[in-house]
Structure 1
Amino acid sequence: MHSALAPLRDHLLSARDPRSAVRWLRREPIDRTLRAMAHGEKPISHEAINELPQSTRVRYFRRMLIAAGTLPAIDVRLNDLEIRSRAFIDTLPAEQAIIVTRFFNWETLRKLRRRSPGRPISVGMANVHSSELHKIAAFLAWLDDHDLDLPTLEQVTVDRYLAHHDPNRTIGRFLNWAARHRITTRIDVPRSPSTASPVTIDEEALWEKVDILLHDKSTPMSSRIIGLFLLVFAQPIRDSVRLRREDVQVTEGYVKVQFGTTPVILPPPIADLLTEHLDMTRDQRPYVGVSPGWLFEGVMPEQHLSEASIRFNLNKHGLHARIIKRARLDHLVQVLPASIVADITGVTVNTAIRHSANTGAGWGAYPELRRHESALDANE
């Protein structure tokens, strides 16, 4: 046994179903790659896996090696974004590739790598940055088609481009970066006006969706619970999937969940559903290794449930997370002070205040009212 692969061997020996482990080991490119690593033909490294055709199976293989301690932990989605982006850049003409590479390395990657190790990028974030490169490449191709270039770019040229293409922040961000690096002159890209309405869904409609998720057993329980957290407590899916079992407190009479600073007592129907989920998964062993403690465990080794799977299940009920969250926050700030909404939901106070202002909520004077009441009490 190659000494560096011994941790993986021990990890796989803990599998709850040895036959599944054997079948997984025989699949390509797992079989061929592990044999090459064991014989010293390939280094046991992330770089060796980067050379494989990227797929869900290869991503699972990488996460298995990380979970076993055979490879160091990395942000797998960020690594995938790098591979996908460099493959795309390789298809561009040389001059465009140079510019896009500089932007990707020094603007996108530099900022993403500053994130703390405990905050890997999401699937949505990876897709946004990947799409960003395609939009920039399309803009540069348009310049080439019209015999134009960045050093001589003028405001009227950008205005003409934006008049025939959807205005978006990507081009503005790219041109600001290019101006800072003296690749082009300063160009103004107007921002698209916000079309967000203060309350997009009335409260009765939200509670109708709550009733659907409480009783629809055709939807996976994890998706139902996370959807209820969204509908009732304005919890983003990205935050709910990262909840750990330790964030839930179950005692006689109530169930609490720590979304923000202050734990929230769940209403009985949601508490019952979450308690059922906890009972069903308490003794459930992971495929291999030790449970990492996620409240909603995913299929990838040591990973929580994916946001994409939750969104897919909720979209079938017409539940679009961003719209629902905004609507629920708009309702909450009309019945609670912004500071309390921030404490129980985990949003920033400034976000809660902004929703309060947008909806014309009367809680803005809450501190002043309290001081006035205290003064009256003191005088009595």
Structure 2
Amino acid sequence: MAAELIPLAAALKSMKRANSGLTWIRQKHVAEFLRNLADAPVITHEAFDELPDSRTREYVRGLLVELGVLPRRDELRRRYDSWAVEALERVKSPQNLDVIRRYIRWHHQRRMNHMDEVTRGTFLRAKQEVTVAIELLNWLTDHSIKLPELQQSHLDVWQAEGPTTRRIAERFLKWAIKTKVAASGLTIVPHRRGTSPRLAKAGQDEALQQVIYEDGLETRDRAAAILILVFGQQAENIARLTWNDVTITEELVTIQLGKIHIALLDPLAQPWRELAANPGHNLTASHPNSAWVFRGISPGRHINPGYLTTRLSKLFKTRAARLGTLHELTKLAPVAIIAEALGYSPTTIERHATDSAAAYAQYVAATKAVRQNP
């Protein structure tokens, strides 16, 4: 066995359920992977990258990172770089290939290089924007239109013929105009804000009662659901919470979502007390010193926000619930206070406040009309 794998074996044997670790390591595919890894002169990230891609490879890599054998690296940034290489193979025109390569390098990868760690949201948006940009450029190629010759009429036809996701090409188009590879003045019809469905107040209250009092729900699902239904938090921000953001005493539970700590009163506080007592995933070697509130399956990583959303979907649609909560909160407090407390930008909360005020104005107008015409 390579010297670097000795800490892994020791960690598996020291687990609270050591037999589980030994059973895992004796599986045929795991044992074969470890034998191949042991043949490497030195175990590095590059040595891992040369082995066939698999869940086992990434799981063992994560374990060795948590044990200090391998240094931490930004895996989402690496995944995007690999994905981008494959995406470039879908571009039909050599001219457009150069454009997309520059777009990836100087817009997305440059932005990622300035981040401490690439977030899941940034990773997914970058992939989506490049995918739609390639779709647009391939459509132009199929119609014998070069990007510098692109006209508004072409864009209108392309957008009308396809799904609503084509509006995402607006971001690529702005970059293309700025870098002078497309004519100025071109526009994509943007997504109209305020059109996404919101969970009504009655639905929010019903969901919250279900989260608090219904049997059979896991503690971490209850805790996460409370942050969405009461404080309008995004799943990605919930997943990234650490126990440094949470303070639990006999008298009080507080959580820092923005710049201030927010107190949770019972019964909202109870799931958080239970989660602190039993955070989960503490019987394996995956999280030896993890500070994540919502631990994931992958070693040392928080729960995947998409997986968290899927788990909660049996109770409510998380996006609709979050938007409904923000809509109601803007009726109760000034924009600046909500933004500071919940970790949102004032502009975002202002937009929800505007929608809330507009809805209230429509309600008042409708009420007046009923009174005048009983």
Range into which the TM-score falls when normalised by the shorter chain: 0.7 to 0.9
1:188 aligned residue: 186
Describe the SS at the equivalent of 2:253.
strand
Mapped to 2, the partners of 1:321 and 1:61 lie a distance apart of: 32
Describe the SS at the equivalent of 2:147.
coil
**CA shift digits 1:154-173 (9 cap, x unpaired):** 33322332232245443222
Counting matched residue pairs gives 356
Q: Which amino acid aligns with 2:317?
A: H
CA shift, 1:261, in A, is: 2.2
Q: Measured at CA, do residues 12 and 98 of structure 1 come closer, stay the same or move farther in structure 2, by a change above 3 Å?
A: farther
2:12 and 2:284 in contact (8 A); partners too: no
Q: Measured at CA, do residues 94 and 8 of structure 1 come closer, stay the same or move farther in structure 2, by a change above 3 Å?
A: farther
1:15 and 1:289 in contact (8 A); partners too: no
1:35 aligned residue: 35
Q: Select 1:358's aligned residue among 348, 355, 358.
A: 355
2:228 aligned residue: 230
1:14 and 1:289 in contact (8 A); partners too: no
1:297 aligned residue: 295
Describe the SS at the equivalent of 1:269.
coil
Mapped to 1, the partners of 2:89 and 2:49 lie a distance apart of: 16
Q: Measured at CA, do residues 302 and 251 of structure 1 come closer, stay the same or move farther in structure 2, by a change above 3 Å?
A: same
Report which stretch shifted further, 76-85 or 1-10.
Answer: 1-10
CA shift, 1:30, in A, is: 5.0
Q: Select 2:338's aligned residue among 326, 338, 341.
A: 341
Describe the SS at the equivalent of 2:268.
helix
Q: Measured at CA, do residues 201 and 36 of structure 1 come closer, stay the same or move farther in structure 2, by a change above 3 Å?
A: closer
1:63 aligned residue: 62
Q: Does 1:83 align with 2:82?
A: yes
Q: In structure 2, list runs of 5 or more residues that go unmatched.
A: 359-374
1:98-109 aligned within 5 A: 98-109=98-109
2:49 aligned residue: 50
2:254 and 2:261 in contact (8 A); partners too: yes
Mapped to 2, the partners of 1:160 and 1:283 lie a distance apart of: 52
Q: In structure 1, list runs of 5 or more residues that go unmatched.
A: 362-380
Mapped to 2, the partners of 1:146 and 1:356 lie a distance apart of: 45
Q: Select 1:126's aligned residue among 123, 126, 132.
A: 123
Q: Which amino acid aligns with 2:291?
A: G
Report which stretch shifted further, 298-307 or 5-14.
Answer: 5-14
CA shift, 1:282, in A, is: 8.6
1:198-209 aligned within 5 A: 200-209=198-207
CA shift, 1:36, in A, is: 4.0
1:225 and 1:273 in contact (8 A); partners too: yes
CA shift, 1:287, in A, is: 2.5
1:235-254 aligned within 5 A: 235-254=233-252
Q: Measured at CA, do residues 129 and 15 of structure 1 come closer, stay the same or move farther in structure 2, by a change above 3 Å?
A: same
Q: Which amino acid aligns with 1:46?
A: H
CA shift, 1:144, in A, is: 1.7
1:74 aligned residue: 73
Describe the SS at the equivalent of 1:16.
coil
Q: Measured at CA, do residues 54 and 196 of structure 1 come closer, stay the same or move farther in structure 2, by a change above 3 Å?
A: farther
Aligned identity (percent) is: 24
Q: Which amino acid aligns with 1:249?
A: T
Mapped to 1, the partners of 2:280 and 2:90 lie a distance apart of: 49
1:11 and 1:288 in contact (8 A); partners too: no
1:366 aligned residue: none
Mapped to 1, the partners of 2:307 and 2:4 lie a distance apart of: 34
Q: Which amino acid aligns with 2:47?
A: A
Q: Does 1:323 align with 2:320?
A: yes
Mapped to 2, the partners of 1:78 and 1:44 lie a distance apart of: 21
**CA shift digits 1:136-189 (9 cap, x unpaired):** 222222112112222333333223322322454432222332333333332512
CA shift, 1:243, in A, is: 1.9
Q: Which amino acid aligns with 1:230?
A: I
Describe the SS at the equivalent of 1:281.
coil
CA shift, 1:7, in A, is: 4.7
**CA shift digits 1:125-144 (9 cap, x unpaired):** 43333233332222222112
Mapped to 2, the partners of 1:133 and 1:222 lie a distance apart of: 35
1:113 aligned residue: 113
Describe the SS at the equivalent of 1:186.
coil
Q: Which amino acid aligns with 2:58?
A: R
1:267 aligned residue: 265
Q: Measured at CA, do residues 133 and 102 of structure 1 come closer, stay the same or move farther in structure 2, by a change above 3 Å?
A: same
Mapped to 1, the partners of 2:135 and 2:141 lie a distance apart of: 10
Q: Does 1:280 align with 2:297?
A: no
2:21 and 2:284 in contact (8 A); partners too: no
Task: Give me the TM-score of the superposition, normalised by structure 2.
Answer: 0.83
2:247 and 2:255 in contact (8 A); partners too: yes
Q: Measured at CA, do residues 224 and 73 of structure 1 come closer, stay the same or move farther in structure 2, by a change above 3 Å?
A: same
CA shift, 1:253, in A, is: 3.1
